[in-house]
Structure 1
Amino acid sequence: MEGKIIVVTGASSGIGLQTAIKAQEAGATVIFASRNAKDSKAVKTAIHGSSIAKNLDVGCEKSVKEFFNDIKETYTSIDALVNCAGFVNPESLLNTSLENWNTTLNINLTGTFLTCKHATLLMKRNGGKIINVASTAGLTPRPGWSAYAAAKSGVINFSNAIAEELKDYRIKVFVICPGRTATPLRKILAPNEDPNSIMQPEAVADVVMMCFTKQAEVLEGQPILVRERF
């Protein structure tokens, strides 16, 4: 991955942070992106070499446009986008407010749409890869997490659709569906769960890194389940 330019959203914690670190270690220039990336202690500790941190609100079109315009001015193009940004506020159907529903879909699904769209504008000349992190919540019933499940199901089907659409640009699209993973998001979903008893973010980041290989292209455009059995 030497010399590659990679954008990772949600890069201040969890799967995003571990993916950014691993890509950086493999020789890529990584743009660590999150709403607080520039002020994040975790990012400041992890970042080195030619990598940079940039603030990005994936659910705000103005923020996404400005972010990718800045990237274009600095790098001209990018080689990959990894979407790890996420939000959840789990509530039952009858307790889920419209505000919660809209926020959940805006960050998880609309944010994926916006970043994919603007990243494609930078990749369509030379090709590249888009890796969207969804969830097994988008594939199996999740009572009490209906908004999150709907958003992640949308990410899966959106990814499948653009995988076909972007073939002419030589852009490969992958969608990863992790199971229970010890991230800050998971802590909100299952506050009483022992994080040491479930899959660690590094394990999912390893699968993200696998998607950068030629051998992984047979998995393009289909949900890639990542689960550990304990």
Structure 2
Amino acid sequence: MADKKIILITGASSGIGLSTALEAQNKGFTVIFTSRNIESNDTLKGKLVNGSVLKNLDVSNETSVKNLFEFVKAKFGKLDALINCAGFVDPETMLATTLENWNATISINLTGTFLCCKYATNFMKKEGGTIVNVSSTAGLTPRPGWGAYAASKSAVIGFSASISEELSEYNIRVFVICPGRTATPLRKILAPTEDPHTIMQPETVSNTILFCLTDEAAPLEGQPILVRERF
């Protein structure tokens, strides 16, 4: 593409984030792969093309988020899309859930989404852009034993709908993806005995995320987009 697009992806060291980052590179995008310790990932270093980079990021830490976007501004001068894939889960019943567990789940899944959206908007509001937040079907239907996770993902849906309206004046489009059962490390924690070959693969979700970066996706903005496969 003549004007190379710059995409920042959180949680890009595994699962849906990694799959999306690699497919985006295949499509010619320059990708900023981020996660907590991704800069030491030698395997991923060997897969970088199109000027893509690896950057450490703690989405729950505002200073870490702020520093990342300052780096992006200095190195690339623009940001076309933000894809929030970073996630955390430690499933427990409500009575067994500690405040530490609750706070960790909310701070990564929800607060991290908020912080990245805030700093991305400050960067993108002059030229517009696209934000894709990854929620879950767990945010739409009951999940006994996953209360903290379900609450965080439900909140991401509401937050995304709200800022979709709010950011329209800056020509920033906001999408929220709700994948069903997907073969990721996070899903393995939620369902440790499940055969990952019998459920949806990350590439299916990645294709939907990247579709949201096209003009054809406009009618889907601001509403939960369910991504599921039937087996």
Q: TM-score range by the shorter chain?
A: over 0.9
Tell me the amino acid that sits aligned with residue 170 of structure 1: N
Are residues 1:32 and 2:33 paired?
yes
Deviations 1:5-57 (A, max 9, x none): 10000000000001001111111110001111111244224322300000000
CA contact (8 A) 1:17 1:43 kept: no
- Rounded to whole Å, the distance in 1 between the matches of 2:142 and 2:38 is 33
CA contact (8 A) 1:126 1:169 kept: yes
Question: For structure 2, which runs of at least 5 residues remain unmatched after alignment?
Answer: none
CA contact (8 A) 1:13 1:42 kept: no
Tell me the amino acid that sits aligned with residue 118 of structure 1: Y
Name the counterpart of 1:20. Answer: 21
Bigger shift: residues 21-30 or 187-196:
21-30
Are residues 1:223 and 2:224 paired?
yes
Are residues 1:54 and 2:78 paired?
no
Counterparts in 2 of 1:95-134, with a 5 A limit? 95-134=96-135
CA contact (8 A) 1:175 1:224 kept: yes
Name the counterpart of 1:192. Answer: 193
Bigger shift: residues 47-56 or 169-178:
47-56
Are residues 1:166 and 2:167 paired?
yes
CA shift for structure 1 position 75:
1.4
Count the aligned residue pairs: 230
Q: Alignment partner of 1:173: what SS?
A: strand
- Say what the alpha-carbon RMSD is for the aligned residues: 0.9
Q: Alignment partner of 2:49: what SS?
A: coil
Are residues 1:155 and 2:153 paired?
no
Matched-pair identity in %: 63
Q: Alignment partner of 1:177: what SS?
A: strand
Counterparts in 2 of 1:205-216, with a 5 A limit? 205-216=206-217
- Rounded to whole Å, the distance in 2 between the matches of 1:149 and 1:8 is 22
Normalising by the residue count of structure 1, what TM-score does the alignment of the two structures yield?
0.98
Counterparts in 2 of 1:67-146, with a 5 A limit? 67-146=68-147
CA contact (8 A) 1:16 1:85 kept: yes
Bigger shift: residues 34-43 or 60-69:
34-43
CA shift for structure 1 position 212:
1.1
Deviations 1:34-83 (A, max 9, x none): 11111124422432230000000000011001111111111122000000
- Rounded to whole Å, the distance in 2 between the matches of 1:117 and 1:215 is 25
Tell me the amino acid that sits aligned with residue 39 of structure 1: S
Tell me the amino acid that sits aligned with residue 137 of structure 1: A
Residues 213 and 45 of structure 1: is their aligned pair in 2 closer, same or farther, counting only changes over 3 Å?
same
Question: For structure 1, which runs of at least 5 residues remain unmatched after alignment?
Answer: none
- Rounded to whole Å, the distance in 2 between the matches of 1:43 and 1:191 is 26
CA shift for structure 1 position 130:
0.1
- Rounded to whole Å, the distance in 1 between the matches of 2:103 and 2:43 is 29
Normalising by the residue count of structure 2, what TM-score does the alignment of the two structures yield?
0.98
- Rounded to whole Å, the distance in 2 between the matches of 1:74 and 1:28 is 15
Name the counterpart of 1:177. Answer: 178
